[in-house]
Amino acid sequence: MKGTFPVEKFREIQTPFYYYDTNLLRNTLNEVNREAGKYENFHVHYAVKANANDKVLNIIREAGLGADCVSGGEINAAIKAGFSTDKIVYAGVGKSDWEINLGLDNNIFCFNVESVPELQVINELAAAKNKIASVAFRINPNVGAHTHANITTGLAENKFGISMEDMDKVIDMAQNMPNVRFIGLHFHIGSQILDMGDFVALCNRINELQDKLAKRHIIVDHINVGGGLGIDYQHPNRQSIPDFASYFECYNKHLKRHSKQTIHFELGRSIVGQCGSLITKVLYVKQGTFKQFAIVDAGMTDLIRPALYQAYHKIENITSEMACETYDIVGPICESSDVFAKAIDLNKVQRNDLIAIRSAGAYGEIMASGYNCRTLPKGFISEELL
Ligand SMILES: *Cc1c(COP(=O)(O)O)cnc(C)c1O
C-alpha cells in the first residue's frame, strides 16, 4: 500500500477506473475561495470541460463556484449538478441554435461571443423569445502562452475570439442591437500555464484595450480573464494544490480595474487535475529486444493526453515495494501512440499489480472514447470506497 490509495478496495473494482480524492478536491476548492476571496469582486467559475463527472461537479458546486461551459451539454450538466444559472458563462466558436436557445431559456449570466455572425444570431434568437441576452466579447489578445502548441488559444492564428482590431466595430454593432446587452470582455490564452509572466502579459494587453475603450467613454462591468493555471505533473505529492495565492495576486497587481468592475476567472485543470488518478491493472510484462514493457488494461481511450499532447503523467506501482526496474508503460489499443510512458523506473512489476497514473483529474475521464469498442471508464470518489 502506497500513498493514500485504498488498494484493498481497488481490488474489488473492475479496472481501469478513475479515482478522485475528495479531501484534496475540497482542500483545493477552499484554497481557491480563500485566495480569490482576498480581493473584492473576484468571481471564479469552474471550467466544466475539464471534468464533468457528476460527483465531482456536485462538490465544486457546493463550494459556491460558477460554471464555465463550452456546449449545451455542459450547460445541462451544470444545471443538473445544481449550479445556479446566473453563474453560468457560455463560450465556444460554434454555438448551435439549440445551444443558444438553451442558454436563453435558462437566463444564463453571459454568452461569451466569438464572432460577428454569432452575435447576429444571438440577437435574432433572443428577439424571437422577447429576451435580452447578456454578451461579452471574447477578444483574441494575441498573447502567446509558453505551453504546448495544441493548447495555446490566444494567438492571432488561433480560431478563437474576435481580433483586437475588430473590437470597436463589434461593440458598436452590439450597442445598436435591441436584444443583446454588452456587458464585458472575455479572454483565455491557453492551458497548463505555469509562468506568471504570461498572465502579466495578458493583464497588460487588457489594460491597453480598456484605455482605448475609456477614450470612447466605455467602461465594461465585467472582465473575464479565462483560466489556464497549470499544475505540477512532475510532483503531484509535493505540490498537490496549485499556487492560487500567486495567481490571484498577479491579477490584482497587474490588472487595472475600474471601480465596481467584476473580474471573472475560469479555472479547470488547476481545480480538478491533481485529485484524480487513473487506476489500471498490469496484464503482462513483456520482454522486448531492448526494453521491457508493462502492458496495462487502460489505454489512450481512457486517458488520451499522453498520445495527444505527449503529456507527462507520473506513474506509480501501488502494489509493489520491490526494487525498481525500467519499463515502457503501454495500453492494449491498436495504435502505436498508445503509450503512457517510455523508459520510466517503477517498483518491479508483475501481472495483476495495480498502477496509478497520477494528475489525471483534468481532461482525463471526460475525454475517454469508445474506440476499439471499449467500455468508458467509471469514476469513483474516495468517500464511496471507505
Ligand atoms: C478550457 C477553457 C478554460 C479552462 O482552462 P484550464 O486550463 O483548464 O484552466 C477556461 N476558459 C475557456 C474559454 C476554456 O476554453
Q: What's the gap in Å between 152 CA and the centre of ligand 1?
A: 11
Interstrand relation of 42-47 and 133-140 (parallel, antiparallel or unpaired) = unpaired
Q: What's the gap in Å between 222 CA and the centre of ligand 1?
A: 17
Ligand 1 nearest-atom number relative to CA 192 = 7
Q: What's the gap in Å between 268 CA and the centre of ligand 1?
A: 6
Rounded distance, CA 74 to CA 76, Å? 5
Position 321 confidence tier, pLDDT thresholds 50, 70, 90: very high
Tens of pLDDT, residue by residue over 100-139, are 999 999 999 999 999 999 999 999 999 999 999 999 999 9
Q: Transcribe 301-333 into DSSP letters.
A: TT--HHHHH-----EEETT--SPEEEEEEE-SS
Which amino acid does the sequence have at 98?
W
Q: H-type helices in 37-132, by residue range?
A: 54-62, 72-80, 97-105, 116-128
Question: What pLDDT, on the 0 to 100 scale, is given for residue 150?
Answer: 61
Position 1 confidence tier, pLDDT thresholds 50, 70, 90: very low
Tens of pLDDT, residue by residue over 278-315, are 999 999 999 989 899 999 999 999 999 999 999 999 99
Angle (CA) 238-241-247 rounded to 5° is 120
Which cell numbers hold the place of 191?
492551458
Mean pLDDT of 82-86: 98
Domain with CATH 2.40.37.10 in the chain: 7-17+274-385
User: Is-above-0.85 flag for pTM?
Assistant: yes
Tens of pLDDT, residue by residue over 206-231, are 999 999 999 999 999 999 999 999 99
Ligand 1 nearest-atom number relative to CA 268 = 8
Question: What pLDDT, on the 0 to 100 scale, is given for residue 25?
Answer: 98
Which residues does ligand 1 sit against, CB inside 6 Å?
A: 47, 49-50, 68, 70, 91, 188, 191, 226-229, 266-270, 362
Q: What's the gap in Å between 261 CA and the centre of ligand 1?
A: 22
Mean pLDDT of 330-355: 97
Question: What pLDDT, on the 0 to 100 scale, is given for residue 158?
Answer: 74
Mean pLDDT of 33-44: 97
> May I ask the CATH class of domain 23-271?
alpha beta
Burial of residue 109, with CB atoms counted within 10 A of its CB: 0-12 exposed, 13-18 middle, 19 or more buried: buried
pLDDT beyond 80 at 196: yes
Tens of pLDDT, residue by residue over 235-268, are 999 999 999 999 999 999 999 999 889 999 999 9
Q: Whose CA is nearest to atom 11 of ligand 1?
A: 226
Q: What's the gap in Å between 172 CA and the centre of ligand 1?
A: 28
CATH code of the domain made up of 7-17+274-385: 2.40.37.10
Q: What's the gap in Å between 228 CA and the centre of ligand 1?
A: 6
Residue from 49, 187, 189, 270 whose mutation best tests the ligand 1 pocket (most atoms within 8 A of CB)? 49
Residue from 93, 263, 266 whose mutation best tests the ligand 1 pocket (most atoms within 8 A of CB)? 266
Domain with CATH 3.20.20.10 in the chain: 23-271
Question: What pLDDT, on the 0 to 100 scale, is given for residue 4?
Answer: 81
Question: What pLDDT, on the 0 to 100 scale, is given for residue 149?
Answer: 64
Question: What pLDDT, on the 0 to 100 scale, is given for residue 75?
Answer: 98
pLDDT beyond 80 at 10: yes
Q: Transcribe 155-209 into DSSP letters.
A: STTSSSSEEGGGHHHHHHHHHT-TTEEEEEEE---BSSB--HHHHHHHHHHHHHH
Q: H-type helices in 37-112, by residue range?
A: 54-62, 72-80, 97-105
Question: What pLDDT, on the 0 to 100 scale, is given for residue 152?
Answer: 66
Ligand 1 nearest-atom number relative to CA 273 = 8
What percentage of the chain carries pLDDT values higher than 70? 96
The DSSP symbol for 2 reads -
Q: What is the residue-averaged pLDDT of the chain?
A: 95
CA atoms lying within 13 Å on the CB side of residue 306: 28
Which cell numbers hold the place of 199?
498572465
Q: Which residue has the higher pLDDT, 80 or 2?
A: 80
Tens of pLDDT, residue by residue over 266-275, are 999 999 999 9
Q: What's the gap in Å between 159 CA and the centre of ligand 1?
A: 15
Q: What's the gap in Å between 349 CA and the centre of ligand 1?
A: 37
Which cell numbers hold the place of 197?
509572466
Ligand 1 nearest-atom number relative to CA 230 = 7
